[in-house]
């Protein structure tokens, strides 16, 4: 199960032991992510998550040359899985297989002000601990394309492929030009019964 938090005590233990966490979760346990999935597919979608903790990052040459630079622990990991998103062209299910890799320096509560690291982006951990569920959801949501679509239009449903014959093309052009009859309508309203312009 995807815990909401890894508490500070547990987090420090994982870092000290250079420990790893490997688990598989259902997308149904991820609240914000469910909103982006194809309707009803969350229970069938699984995520494989691997997290690795290390006691310290090696400081870069620039950071090492400065005074009083603390070395931070790190978290690296992967998120793999199969999720069904809603194609924004045909509104049907499309398979997305995320392969997300990430690495962060962990700045724990009480770290010194001069803590600095150049190698990875720094993730500041609050007193409650590492918000694991929110962290995983953030990584997935930031990796999803803002408008997911099938890689090929031919993979889309009949909502797209139906526009093949001439009648369908004519209908589609009419639908995509909703204001074409507006000029005629306005000119009719601005004339009397005999067709003379009104003031």
* Mean pLDDT (whole number) for 78-106: 87
What does the pLDDT look like over 4-51, one tens digit per residue? 888 889 989 999 888 999 888 887 777 777 777 888 777 778 889 999
pLDDT band at 93 (very low <50, low <70, confident <90, very high): confident
By the 8 A CB rule, do 106 and 76 touch?
no
> What's the helix, strand, coil split of the chain in %, to 5?
30, 25, 45
Sequence-ordered strand ranges (E) for 15-55:
20-26, 46-54
CA atoms of 147 and 140, how far apart (whole Å): 14
Residue with more model confidence, 59 or 17: 17
In tens, the pLDDT along 127-184 reads 888 888 888 888 988 888 888 888 888 878 755 444 455 556 566 666 666 676 777 7
- Strands 93-96 vs 20-26: parallel, antiparallel or unpaired: unpaired
Q: DSSP per residue over 68-136, as a string? A: T-PPPPEEEEEEEEEEEEEPTTT-SEEEE--EEEEEEEEE-TT--TT---SSSEEEE-BTTBB-HHHHH
| This model's pTM is above 0.85 | no
Q: Which residues contact 163 (CB under 8 A, 6 or more apart)?
A: 169, 172
124 pLDDT more than 80: yes
Return the domain boundaries, the chain. 8-150, 163-189
């Amino acid at each position: 199960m995807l815990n909401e938090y890894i508490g500070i005590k547990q987090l420090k233990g994982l870092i000290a032991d250079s420990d790893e966490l490997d688990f598989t979760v259902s997308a149904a346990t991820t609240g914000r992510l469910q909103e982006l999935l194809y309707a009803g597919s969350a229970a069938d979608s699984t995520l494989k998550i691997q997290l690795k903790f290390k006691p310290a990052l090696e400081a870069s040459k620039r950071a090492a040359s400065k005074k009083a630079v603390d070395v931070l622990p790190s978290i690296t990991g992967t998120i793999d899985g199969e999720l069904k998103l809603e194609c924004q062209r045909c509104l049907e299910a499309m398979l997305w297989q995320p392969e997300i890799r990430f690495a962060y320096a962990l700045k724990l509560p009480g770290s010194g002000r001069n803590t600095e690291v150049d190698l990875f982006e720094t993730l500041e951990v609050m007193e409650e601990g590492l918000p694991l569920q929110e962290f995983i959801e953030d990584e997935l949501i930031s990796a999803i394309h803002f408008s997911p679509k099938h890689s090929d239009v031919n993979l889309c449903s009949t909502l797209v492929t139906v526009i093949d014959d001439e009648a369908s093309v004519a209908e589609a052009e009419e639908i995509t030009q909703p204001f074409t009859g507006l000029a005629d309508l306005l000119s009719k309203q601005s004339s009397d019964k005999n067709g003379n312009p009104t003031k």
